[in-house]
Amino acid sequence: MKTSEFSYACILFAVGFISATWGTDTDGVYKIGVGVGDITGPPAGIVLNGHINPFTYAAGIHTRQYARAFVVESITTGNVITYVTCDMGMIDHSMKPAVVAKLAAKFGSKYNESNILISGTHTHSGVSGFMTYFAYLVIESQKFNPISYWAAVDGIVDAITAAELSLQDGKIFWHQGELLDTNRNRRMDQYEMNPQEERDAYPYSVDKDMIILKFVDLADNPIGLFAWYPLHPLSFNQREDNPLVCSESTGYAAVLFDAALNPAGTLPGKGKFVSGFGSTNLGDVAPDNNDPIISPSRIDLTDDMRKLRNNGNKLFNKATQLFNDIANLQPISGPIGSVHRYVDTETIEVQRFDESTGQTQTMSLCKGALGFGYVGLDPEEFPFLETIRDLIKAPSEEMVQCQSPKIVALAAGEMDDPWQWAPSIVELQNLQLGSIFLAGVPGEFTTMAGRRVRNAIFNATGDKVIVAGLSNNYINYVATPEEYEFQEYEAGATAYGRNTLPVITTLLQEMAVALKDGTPESIPIGDPAPSFLHLLPDDVKPRADPTPTNGAEFGDVIIDVGPTYTVITETEVRAVFYAGSPRNSPMRKGTFLTVDKLEDGRWTTVKTDADVDTAFYWNLVNHHGEISWFVDPSFPKGTYRLRHFGYYRIIEDGISIPYSGTSSQFILL
């Protein structure tokens, strides 16, 4: 062994000895790390993900999409868990294997499909084109976009890599508290189908508690914050007519929290402190926006930004209050572990005790199907609907009986041309973080469905449970059996029938017990779902950008900023540039815009397109790029400029050529 290698080995041994001596799972000392990665896809040429609206195409950015990760490694056993919350509508089943493969090239077998949980926040303003089951591809995004897909995978890998490289000894605390006037149940008639006795056990028809994890080093310096609160991300694009990509209220809150905890001037996505606001049981939960909608003009962000800020600030303020409530933070200690399982929905059977009858039942699932309640149509009112359905695929009698009272609108589970339309293999997962369980569920669980999952795991383990929604794969909504009888939107989208929740809950409980007992290997892993990546055509083709008129070039200013702005109330500073299509590049790890400040004769970037007070809109009609900065009166006065960055193509199949443009200087007074 060379001297340098011997010295390095000695250092590693010493570090390991000190760590093992001074910190163990029992002491609540772990190796912890956090990281963030840009997952923004090309914000043009493809519909936004979430609303199933074929007419709302992406055309610019209000805030970037990020993956935000924490890694916890046991000093005692070496076990690792990883949680990633992504500013995405949902997670495709093929993404985690792709992430694991890329991480294996860097870190060997340390990260695997059992110890990584990837969750989507469910923003309805994210770039689409990354789902691969045929029904999702056709309904959600109309086409596959490999740039969107790999931007997400690579950004998740970046986040986990950053967390791995920042691992240090530290401690974790949890806290929870009530946040009111922020969410409401959007389906009360469905919720009231649940037993009165069960509903009476809760003060509200939605969960109102935010739960946080606070990460600190051994000197109590903050490292990260991750929070969960049930809120459907519908603040920014509620009318379904806003074309700007946005990470929604959860992403907004994370940008604010990162800014508050990182050194002044740190740009979004660039700081060492990382926060994340994840999804939980948000299926029937809407933002509590009772004020009137303001009619938009041009791309008028007034109403959408107001709602986004309102809900994002509420999340940020509550998380801040819990984070700083030192006296009531609860330390976490105990083992680190993980378990996951691939469930074959067509063969799974579970034994479940029915308290109402006192008997044990054998429960199974149906092949996946969506009901007419999901699309808001009633076949009794419009009998021709079933005729139209049958032209696509008539459900089998077995499916009709199994899915009853759902009236099947799309028999996706019985369709495999040109490949599978819907999942038949579903992944479930539990992460154990000392006395906390993170239950990774694969869809949008309603309020009561999430409560039943939490209660089942708590009753079996005695530990705190966080339901991590939209994790690892997506099966649409999951309602309780009682809610399923109502067959409105969420129940109509409960794909595997009335038993979906009881079967999933039973399996998650078994998995949690195995983790608690230290026997996760007793849980059968099962066979993973197939990948369809090799079958997917690249349907988002490049296009040539029209050459600017009158001898202008890409990046030239069309409408310049004013010379001065007196900022007494929030003021928009705006410039318009000749622009190439943003579909040419998502500018991942970059930006379509900057706000620069002149200080001591040098320009310093103070804002990017990831900030919550900037916007880049690409006008498809005239191929103009509109840059807006909404200046708060408290922002430092001085001399500034706006810059625009992008790529253009001269010919359709040609290379993308970078360009930039700069506005005139302006002064904030």
* Annotated binding-site residue numbers for Zn(2+): 122, 232, 444, 477
CA gap 211, 468 in Å, rounded:
12
Q: To 10 degrees, what angle do helices 248-261 and 302-323 make?
A: 50
Length of the chain: 669
DSSP secondary structure string for all residues of 304-357 = HHHHHHHHHHHHHHHHHHHHT-GGGPEE--S-EEEEEEEEETTT-EEEEEETTT
Distance between the two ends of the chain, CA-based, in angstroms? 65
500 contacts: CB under 8 Å, gap ≥ 6:
365, 475, 478, 479, 484, 494
Residue numbering of the annotated binding site: 122, 232, 444, 477
Alpha helices in 137-292 (DSSP H): 146-165, 188-191, 196-200, 248-261
Q: Which two tokens stand for residue 572?
A: 């928009």
CA gap 443, 211 in Å, rounded:
20
- Can you name the residues that pair with 106 across neighbouring β-strands? none
For residue 383, say if its preceding peptide bond is cis, omega within 30 degrees of 0: no
**Tokens 């009709």, located at residue:** 400
β-strands 222-228, 274-278 pairing: parallel
Q: Which two tokens stand for residue 520?
A: 């996760």
Q: Which two tokens stand for residue 441?
A: 């569920």
- b/e code 514-536 from CB counts within 10 Å (16+ = b): bbbeeebeebeebebbeebeeeb
CA gap 235, 579 in Å, rounded:
28
CA gap 412, 135 in Å, rounded:
7
Q: Using DSSP, how many helices (H) and how many strands (E) does the chain show? A: 14, 34
CA gap 519, 337 in Å, rounded:
10
CA gap 240, 233 in Å, rounded:
12
Q: Which two tokens stand for residue 655?
A: 């290379």
State the CB neighbour count (10 A cutoff) for residue 616.
Answer: 27
DSSP secondary structure string for all residues of 108-168 = TTSS-TTTEEEEE---SSEE-----SHHHIIIIISS--HHHHHHHHHHHHHHHHHHHHT-E
356 contacts: CB under 8 Å, gap ≥ 6:
none
